Chain A
Amino acid sequence: MDVQYEFANKFRDQILRCSSCGFCRAICPLFGLTKRPALNARGKMLVLKEVMDGSIDLNDELVETLFQCTTCAGCAELCPSGVNVPDIIKQVRKDMVFLDSCHPVFKGMNKLLQEHTNIYGEDEPEDFERERNTPAEYVFFIGCVGSYREDEPTMATLDLLDHFRVDYTLIDEVCCSGVLEDVGYEINKNLAQKNIDLILATGAKTVITGCPFCSRTFNNKTQYDRLKQEKIKIIHISQLLKDFDPGVKTDKLVTYHDPCDLGRHCGIYEEPREIIRKIAPNFVEMRHNRANALCCGAGGGVRGAFAKNSIGMARRRLEEVEEIQAEVLLTECNSCLHNLDNAKLRAQKFKIYTTSQFINQLIESDR
């Protein structure tokens, strides 16, 4: 049969290489929650094999599995055959969008970002009482979740940057729109251009992002190549903080959730732990950590499109916090924080913060 889809052109060999060993069951957050083999990487690859050999069409019937993937890359990390499922899934989604087979929530998200500047379609961002668009050494890029849903952790992070006397400015940022690439669309060029212009206008040589996903988007997507050409460095806040000594400590039992976007996708596992160890001598790992960390369930558009399962996945992650009886769960991603916090049951007494938020709290209570 003629190769009809772009995903097959690009990934045929990898998809065929999936030996159906089923090892991805061990880590796939969707499988772990639902025990439904159709949703894990093997199920997805089997469906794609049938699409490639012409047994079935790429159509709406497949949306439930092909659009229900957090692109966490847990499977890719342990796959003996080296199948990179998130890359494959992102391309498949583009093919499906092309055929007008797409989860309505994702379609809506694309439309929203054509009309608005952020994924929530809200036009009044939190002010954060900081300078904007001024010359500075660093730009601090907050990200949509930090701007519109998790403003407390963002405020705390900004306070912490002030405490460490970091010379930064905010900008009138718009959504980096990287998420569109994950859900079958392209990065919105207008939004990208706006961010690039605003960053360059400040003269800053480094952008610090509060969100690891924004950091990935700026670093890896061609629409943001201009930043590279201008030698602008993009780092996540955890990469900056590791060089500071907060000078405060907690005796609480603390654990850390590796966001997929920072850990598996960028290989940043140690910097966040370096900082946490400085402030929390009682640091303890969850059962799944680092490259093996369990996804919180928010990524790849799943929180929007499959909300119930997204929360269910977060609950499973929180069970691991309970298992080690940690009192504080830290993470480095507002999106993880948001999902985990929404999933937390009243009976669960531990607290969830971003690392900078927690450090700032320790500093404030020390005063």
Chain B
Amino acid sequence: METSIKERLKEIVGPENYTDDLIDLIAYSKDATEHKHRPEAAVWPLDVNQVSKILMLANEKLFPVVPRGAGTSLAGLPVPERGGLILDMARMDKILNISIEDRLAVVQPGVVYQDLERALAPDDFCFPPDPASGAVCTLGGNVATNAGGIKGAKYGTTKDYVLALEVVLPDGRILHTGSQCMKTSSGYDLTKLFVGSEGTLGVITEITLKINPRPPLVTTSMATFDDLEDAGRAISEIMYSGILPSALEIVDQQSLKAINQNTDMNLPEVEALLVAETDGYTQEEVEFQMAKITKIFKKNNAATVRRAENEEEAAALWTARKTAYGVTARINNTLFVEDLAVPMSKVPDILRTISDLAKKYDLKIPTVGHAGDGNIHPVISFDGTSRSEVERVEKATKDLFEKVIELGGTLTGEHGIGLAKAPFMRMEHDDVAMDVMLSMKRLFDPNNILNPGKMGLEL
């Protein structure tokens, strides 16, 4: 990057919001994957006008610009693969308005998920997606990845809550999409186009989110299954039984073994463990739903079924699910948190596939997932310094995604494509779909300056 460009950037954001120090370039070279490339400079813009000026400059001088939230992406999304400039949105972190009357919140993109939750809590409202990274990830990142979480089956994902956006386009123009109304049929749905767009179409500078009242009561239960197919049948049956659990999570045998080897939790090493949660406004309501779920657990040969009597017991039932990531992260020096989704009835098939692939390639692939919406996370912990192990992981991943597509599934349920899944895009999307996506990218970003190299959209 030429010195004159760097000087101009400093003028736009002020020297205290500009850096090209080595330590910053290194910090911005990675997300939570192994993908890695340094940018040439980074800025912390403070308002939409600064973002607009920066993009105009980039479009004129043709350098890549990569928007970045907390860098917790699990697919290489904010890694500046072609250098250029990082646009760190973290200093645009104001909650601009919370209107309970209108059921919406207006925020800057750098607001951390949990900070919005805290601001909504006094009114018993929430923004439901609840990603596991909520303590650090930003709402801009959530919108750009269409983030989800354990509440997906009942409450959907980020896309179901974005009402309106302010977006700076690559040519510097400021676009306002959507409306502050709960519904609109006015024009193309430009808002949704930017949800999940991975920073490749525009830079989000303001977000209007629909917010939900938070049901005050929850009940939790846990069931263990000696046979994976039984667990699979239980999941399907629950999901068509007429009730919607607020969470239905699965932990597989490999995870349970890993947890037992690394903690003193002494969990039963069954083929599958399910945790279900129901929520509502009256005790009767939550009990009714939970009774149905436990009945289905039993009918499908659950080895054990436990109901939590209070908050502590509920927390105890959740520990297996919630410690799985931490335990797996400590097994070895490299971690791939995979993400895929299949039609709900195919959850047992994909879990079998994963366990077969683990055997075939001599890998450990503990798996957890949001069973209630078919979104599964195989977590591969391996020795990244061993070339042969890396190769086996790569082969297993490819086989896995071929199977996912064969089952009518999708490459990613919530983490996005980024760099990690870019090579597989054409597995899922046919030529027409890819062509339309490419045309859209060209329309918004003809010079390919915004987060280039991602999503398999080569221009």
13 contacting pairs across A/B (C-beta < 8 A) = A16-B334, A22-B72, A35-B44, A35-B88, A35-B110, A37-B27, A37-B88, A38-B21, A38-B27, A47-B23, A56-B26, A81-B326, A82-B330
CB pair B136 A26 closer than 8 Å: yes
Q: Is A94 an interface residue (CB 8 A)?
A: no
Q: Is the CB of B30 within 8 A of A20?
A: yes
State whether the Cβ of B325 lies closer than 8 Å to any Cβ in chain A. yes
Q: Which residues from chain A contact B26 at a C-beta distance below 8 Å?
A: 38, 43, 46-47, 50, 56
Select one of A21, A42, A80 contacting B27, CB under 8 A: A42
Residue interface bits A22-36, CB-to-B below 8 A is 1, else 0? 110110000000011
From A61-69, A130-138, A145-153, the one touching the partner chain is: A61-69
Query: Which of A's residues lie within 8 Å of B, judged by CB?
Result: 13, 16-17, 19-23, 25-26, 35-38, 42-43, 46-47, 50, 56, 61-62, 64-65, 80-82
Q: Which B20-63 residues have a C-beta within 8 angstroms of A?
A: 21-24, 26-33, 44
Q: Given contacts A16-B333, A46-B27, is CB(A23)–CB(B136) below 8 Å?
A: yes
Q: Does B133 contact A (CB under 8 A)?
A: yes
Specify which of B23, B29, B44 is in contact with A65 (CB 8 Å cutoff): B23
- The answer, yes or no, to whether B71 is at the interface (CB within 8 Å) is yes
Asked if B91 and A81 sit within 8 Å, CB to CB, the answer is: no
Give the distance to chain A from B43, nearest Cβ to Cβ, in Å.
12
Which chain B residues have a beta carbon within 8 Å of chain A's beta carbons?
Answer: 19, 21-24, 26-33, 44, 70-72, 88, 90-91, 93, 110, 114, 133, 135-136, 325-326, 329-330, 332-335, 384-385
Does the CB pair B29–A21 fall under 8 Å?
Answer: no
Min C-beta distance of B39 to chain A, whole Å: 12
Q: How far is the CB of A284 from chain B (nearest CB, A)?
A: 16
Q: Contacts of B31 on A, CB cut-off 8 Å?
A: 20, 22
- Complex Cα spacing A25 to B70, Å: 8
- The listed residue with most B CB atoms (<10 A of its CB), out of A13, A21, A80, is A21
Contact of B133 among A13, A23, A42 (CB under 8 A): A23
Bound complex: CA of A22 vs CA of B335, how far in Å? Answer: 14
CB pair A36–B24 under 8 Å, yes or no, is yes
- Of A19, A47, A61, A62, which one neighbours B32 at CB under 8 angstroms? A19
For the complex, give the distance between the alpha carbons of A13 and B22 in Å: 24
- The listed residue (B72, B90, B330, B384) touching A81 by CB distance below 8 A is B330
B254 to chain A, nearest CB (A): 18
- Given the complex of chains A and B, what is the CA–CA distance between A22 and B135 in angstroms? 10
Residues of A within 8 A of B29 (CB): 46
Q: Are A80 and B325 in contact (CB under 8 A)?
A: yes
B71 touches A13 (CB 8 A): no
- B122, chain A: closest CB distance, angstroms: 12
Do B23 and A64 touch (CB < 8 A)?
yes
Least CB distance, B92 to chain A, in whole angstroms = 10
Residues from chain A with Cβ under 8 Å of B21 in the complex: 38, 61, 64
What residues on B are CB-neighbors of A80 within 8 Å? 325-326, 329-330
**Which of A17, A25, A37, A43 makes the CB contact (< 8 A) with B333?**
A17
* CB <8 Å contact, A21 and B133: yes
B91 partner residues in chain A, CB cutoff 8 A: 35
How far is B141's CA from A22's CA once the two chains are assembled, in angstroms? 13
A50, closest chain B residue (CB): B26
Which B residue sits closest to A55, measured CB to CB? Answer: B26
* A23 engages B24 (CB within 8 Å): no
> Which of B22, B70, B114 has a CB less than 8 Å from the CB of A22?
B70
* Distance, CA A38 to CA B24, complexed state (A): 5
Is the CB–CB distance between B330 and A46 below 8 Å? no
- Nearest CB on B from A18, distance (A): 9
The distance from the CB of B249 to the nearest CB of chain A, in whole angstroms, is 17
In the complex, residue of chain A having the shortest beta-carbon distance to the beta carbon of B327: A80
Least Cβ–Cβ distance between A64 and chain B, in angstroms: 6
Cα distance A80–B327 in the bound complex, in angstroms: 7
B contact residues around A22 at 8 Å (CB): 31-32, 70-72, 133, 136
Chain B residues near A16: list those with CB within 8 A.
333-334, 384-385
**CB nearest neighbor in B for A26:** B135
**Judging by beta carbons under 8 Å apart, are A62 and B333 in contact?**
no
Extra 19 A-B pairs, beta carbons < 8 Å, given A21-B329, A43-B26: A13-B333, A17-B332, A22-B72, A23-B133, A25-B70, A26-B114, A26-B135, A35-B110, A36-B27, A37-B24, A38-B23, A38-B24, A46-B26, A46-B27, A47-B26, A56-B22, A64-B23, A80-B325, A80-B326
CB < 8 Å: which of B19, B32, B114, B385 contacts A20? B32
Please name all residues of chain B whose beta carbon is closer than 8 Å to the beta carbon of A81 when the two chains form the complex: 326, 329-330
Contacts of B334 in A (CB 8 A): 16, 19
CA separation between A50 and B30, bound complex, in Å? 12
User: Does B90 lie within 8 Å of A35, measured CB to CB?
Assistant: yes
Instruction: Please report the C-alpha to C-alpha distance between residue A64 and residue B23 in the assembled complex, in whole angstroms.
Output: 8
Evaluate contact between A43 and B22: CB separation under 8 angstroms: no
**Chain B: minimal CB distance from A41 (Å):** 11
Query: A25–B136 contact, CB under 8 A?
Result: yes
Q: Are A21 and B333 in contact, with the CB atoms below 8 A? A: no
Across the interface, do B23 and A62 meet the contact criterion of CB distance under 8 Å? yes
Flag if B24 contacts A61 (CB, 8 Å).
no
Residues of B within 8 A of A43 (CB): 23, 26-27
B138's nearest neighbour on chain A, judged by CB, is: A25
The interface residues of chain B lying within 8 Å CB-to-CB of A25 are 70, 136
Chain B positions within 8 Å of A21 at CB level: 32, 72, 133, 329
Closest to A15 in B: B333
Partner of A23 from the list B28, B110, B135, B335 (CB cut-off 8 Å) is B135
A36–B91 Cα gap in the complex (Å)? 9
